[in-house]
């Protein structure tokens, strides 16, 4: 990801339009990371719920 960002920066010559593209890309990567964290959180919740169910058996 960092490599991609730096390549874009070098190619862009820092025009305003490219800055917008970078911000868009950053937002895109942030969203993907948030999704990953959400998935992980859901998995952990499911896992601990399963543990609780197993305790009661």
Question: Radius of gyration of the chain from Cα atoms?
Answer: 20
pLDDT per residue as tens, the chain (57 positions): 566 666 666 655 555 566 777 777 788 888 887 788 788 888 888 887 777 766 665
Q: What is the pTM of this model?
A: 0.34
**What is the rounded distance in angstroms from the CA atom of residue 27 to the CA atom of residue 13?**
21
């Amino acid at each position: 990801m960092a490599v991609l960002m730096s390549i874009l920066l070098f190619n862009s010559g820092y025009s305003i339009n490219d800055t917008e593209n970078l911000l868009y890309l950053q937002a895109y990567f942030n969203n993907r990371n948030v999704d990953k964290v959400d998935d992980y959180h859901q998995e952990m919740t499911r896992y601990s719920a399963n543990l609780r169910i197993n305790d009661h058996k």
